[in-house]
């Protein structure tokens, strides 16, 4: 599914929390109850802070709105979470369009993954090893512990700490400087705490990796690969700025992996297809991607399968408008696996590019009947229906989908487009407001609700009452946000 980036007006400030430092210092009083992270930061507070941080990330970073990649990452992440210890709430996984090798986790179980990470990973176990490590940071509550350590040493304000963490996510080197500037701790103590957290995340993450069926030895292989890059770069990968890598750590991880029984893990086609998709659409320009995949196919000695390389080549051709060449590859791939979501998604893009959206809706409708709740099929079908001017069909699909996933930004964006095409201004402004609220732009969301009210007939008393309640809610949420 190929859509333009969501281009809605959002919060203009760099860090909402940082801009409300005085509020944060006065509104949140951390109890002096020892060193337990659970005592210092209750789970509900952790989740609330995580949601605020997620709003800021949505408004500042180029999140990848790609149902196929989301489906793959969420499936992989949930497989690890299901085998982790001390899971206290649900996790959410998301992609960031950034070629840096990085991943991060923060309050409330949010895990962000740069597209550069999968582009550099050799296999699924390597990617899973990083995700397992990040899941462990959350389950072991390392950020909450760090907050407690800062409090014990009078080192950081809550607002300053969160601002530093957020900035670290956006720009790791700048973020570490903010944390240092806010701290009276010595550099040695900060490093010691960080290394201890990394050791614990390595230990719990590797256990999770093994329990989930992956190869623990690939964890040290990936760290070795990152360490090798440091030798040839003046600036280390972003991952190493937030995940210190002393020489002893690779040895520790390798020795820990040897404690597990050797395991052969077959190549994952889904991983390879996801990697090809990232390389084709987020890593290379389309022409360079075409050259890359054609060269790899000629070599015939690549780590990636022929299917994955042909899929990547088909995408690069499709994005250049070379539709016949792309179709020849996609027809062949679909013949091998007619229900593959990666292939169906690309074929939908192809049919729309060929001005045949009706054909796409017929193809996807059959798939939707067997997998009615799948986001890849549903959102592609809705998008094709919009292109085919089957607006009522698209509206029904998206409304049902949002009942199950009410915070899905791409589905909301598509439904906003439907209402605009239908000329339903009240519904358009209401849905636009809901989307803005996910970015923490409650003032703008309230403005959109006011516009929706202006397009509501006085006879629609129930709808008017609901919109007024939403208006009040968004204004109250803006006040609550300022108190964090």
- Cβ–Cβ < 8 Å for 111, 103: yes
Ramachandran class of 86: left when φ > 0, alpha when ψ lies in -120 to 50, beta otherwise? left
Nearest-angstrom CA–CA distance, 469 and 85: 41
Q: How far apart are CA 332 and CA 338, in angstroms?
A: 10
User: Are 23 and 105 in a shared domain?
Assistant: yes
- 95 and 239 belong to one structural domain: yes
Highest mean pLDDT among 51-55, 150-154, 337-341: 337-341
Hey, what are 212's tokens?
């989930």
In a shared domain, residues 47 and 163? yes
Instruction: From the candidates 46, 202, 215, 310, give the one annotated as an active-site residue.
Output: 202
Any domain includes 397: no
Q: Which of 412, 351, 408 is nearest to 385 (CA)?
A: 351
pLDDT band at 243 (very low <50, low <70, confident <90, very high): low
Domain end position, chosen among 354, 369, 399: 354
Is residue 482 scored above 80 in pLDDT? no
Q: Is residue 367 part of a domain?
A: no
| Same domain as 252, residue 289 | no
**Tokens 């390597």 — which residue?**
126
Q: Is the pLDDT of residue 411 over 90?
A: yes
* Token digits of residue 484: 């964090």
Q: Distance between CA atoms of 223 and 220, rounded to whole angstroms?
A: 5
Domain of residue 233: give its range: 16-257
pTM of the model: 0.82
Contacts of 81 (CB under 8 A, 6+ apart): 87, 91, 135
Whether 43 contacts 108, CB under 8 Å: no
Q: Which of 134, 221, 310, 387 is catalytic?
A: 134
Same domain, 325 and 248: no
| Six token digits for residue 220 | 């040290």
Residue 133 is assigned to a ligand binding site: yes
Q: Is 446 inside any structural domain? A: no
Instruction: Look at residue 156 and tell me if it is in a domain.
Output: yes
Q: Are 307 and 333 a contacting pair, CB within 8 Å?
A: yes
- Do 146 and 30 share a structural domain? yes
What integer is the mean pLDDT of 196-205? 81
- Select from 329, 354, 379 the last residue of a domain: 354
Alpha carbon distance 89, 82 (integer Å)? 11
Q: Please state the domain count of the chain.
A: 2
Q: Indicate whether 338 belongs to any domain.
A: yes
DSSP classification of residue 63: B
* Continuous segment of H or E residues that includes residue 26: helix 21-27
Candidates 314, 298, 373; CA nearest to 349 is 314
Instruction: Give 351 or 227, the one with higher predicted confidence.
Output: 351
Q: How far apart are CA 291 and CA 429, in angstroms?
A: 44
Same domain for 294 and 339?
yes
Q: Which two tokens stand for residue 477?
A: 């949420």
Which H or E run contains 94? strand 92-96
283 among the known binding-site residues? no
Closest CA to 105 of 259, 251, 239, 219: 239
Residue 327 φ/ψ region, left for φ over 0, alpha for ψ in the -120 to 50 degree band, beta for the rest: alpha
Q: Is 198 annotated as a binding residue?
A: yes
pLDDT at 87 exceeding the cut of 80: yes
pLDDT per residue as tens digits for the range 210-241: 999 999 999 888 888 777 766 666 655 556 55
Examine the domain organization and report whether 189 and 336 are in the same domain: no
Q: How far apart are CA 131 and CA 112, in angstroms?
A: 9
Q: Is residue 467 part of a domain?
A: no
Residues 243 and 301 in one domain: no
Catalytic site includes residue 134 = yes
Same domain for 297 and 247?
A: no
Do 88 and 126 sit in the same domain of this protein?
Answer: yes
337 annotated active-site: no
Summarised one tens digit per residue, pLDDT across range 16-25 is 333 333 333 3
Question: What value, to the nearest 5°, has the Cα angle with vertex 171 and ends 177 and 187?
Answer: 25
What does 389-414 look like in DSSP terms, one character per residue?
Answer: T-HHHHHHHHHHHHHH-TT-HHHHHH
Position 479 pLDDT exceeds 50: yes
Q: Is residue 448 part of a domain?
A: no
Q: Which tokens is 415 given? A: 């439904």
Quick check: is 384 in a domain? no
Q: Is the pLDDT of residue 77 over 60?
A: yes
DSSP H/E element including 114: strand 110-114
Residues 98 and 152 in one domain: yes
Contact 8, 432 (CB under 8 A): yes
Among 297, 326, 354, residue at a domain's last position: 354
């Amino acid at each position: 599914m190929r859509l333009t980036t969501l281009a809605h007006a959002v919060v203009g400030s760099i860090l909402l929390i940082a801009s409300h430092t005085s509020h944060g210092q006065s509104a949140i009083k951390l109890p002096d109850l020892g060193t337990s992270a659970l005592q210092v930061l209750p789970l509900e507070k952790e989740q609330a802070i995580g949601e605020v941080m997620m709003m800021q990330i949505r408004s500042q970073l180029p999140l990848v709105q790609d149902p196929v990649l989301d489906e793959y990452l969420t499936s992989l992440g949930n497989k690890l979470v299901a085998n982790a210890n001390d899971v206290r709430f649900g996790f959410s996984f998301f992609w960031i369009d950034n070629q840096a090798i990085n991943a991060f986790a923060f309050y409330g179980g949010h895990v962000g993954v740069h597209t550069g990470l999968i582009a550099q990973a050799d296999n699924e176990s390597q990617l899973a090893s990083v995700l397992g490590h990040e899941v462990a940071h959350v389950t072991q509550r390392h950020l909450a512990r760090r907050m407690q350590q800062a409090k014990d040493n009078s080192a950081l304000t809550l607002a300053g700490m969160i601002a530093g963490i957020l900035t670290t996510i956006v720009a790791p080197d700048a973020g570490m400087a903010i944390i240092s500037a806010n701290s009276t701790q010595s550099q040695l103590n900060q490093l010691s705490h960080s290394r201890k957290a990394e050791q614990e995340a390595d230990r719990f993450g590797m256990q999770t990796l093994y329990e989930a069926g992956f190869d623990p030895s690939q964890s040290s292989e990936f760290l070795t690969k990152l360490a090798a890059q440091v030798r040839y770069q003046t600036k280390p990968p972003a991952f190493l700025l937030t995940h210190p890598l002393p020489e002893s750590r690779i040895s520790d991880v390798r020795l820990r992996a040897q404690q597990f029984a050797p395991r052969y893990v077959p190549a994952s086609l889904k991983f390879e297809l996801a990697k090809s998709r990232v390389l084709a659409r987020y890593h290379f320009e389309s022409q360079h991607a075409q050259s890359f995949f054609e060269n790899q196919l000629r070599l015939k000695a690549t780590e990636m399968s022929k299917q994955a390389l042909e899929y990547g080549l088909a995408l690069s051709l499709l994005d250049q408008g070379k539709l016949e060449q792309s179709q020849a590859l996609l027809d062949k791939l679909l013949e091998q696996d007619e229900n593959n979501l990666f292939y169906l998604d690309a074929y939908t893009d192809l049919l729309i590019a060929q001005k045949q959206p009706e054909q796409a809706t017929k193809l996807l409708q059959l798939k939707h009947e067997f997998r009615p709740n799948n986001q890849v099929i549903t959102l592609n079908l809705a998008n094709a229906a919009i292109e085919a001017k089957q607006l009522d069909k698209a509206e029904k699909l998206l409304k049902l989908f949002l009942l199950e996933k009410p915070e899905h930004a791409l589905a909301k964006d598509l439904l906003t487009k439907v209402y605009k095409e239908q000329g339903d201004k009240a519904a358009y402004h209401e849905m636009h407001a809901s989307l803005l609220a996910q970015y923490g732009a409650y003032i703008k969301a309230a403005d959109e609700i006011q516009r929706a009210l202006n397009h509501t007939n006085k006879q629609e008393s129930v709808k008017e009452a609901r919109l007024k309640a939403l208006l009040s809610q968004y204004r109250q949420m803006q006040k609550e946000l300022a108190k964090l």
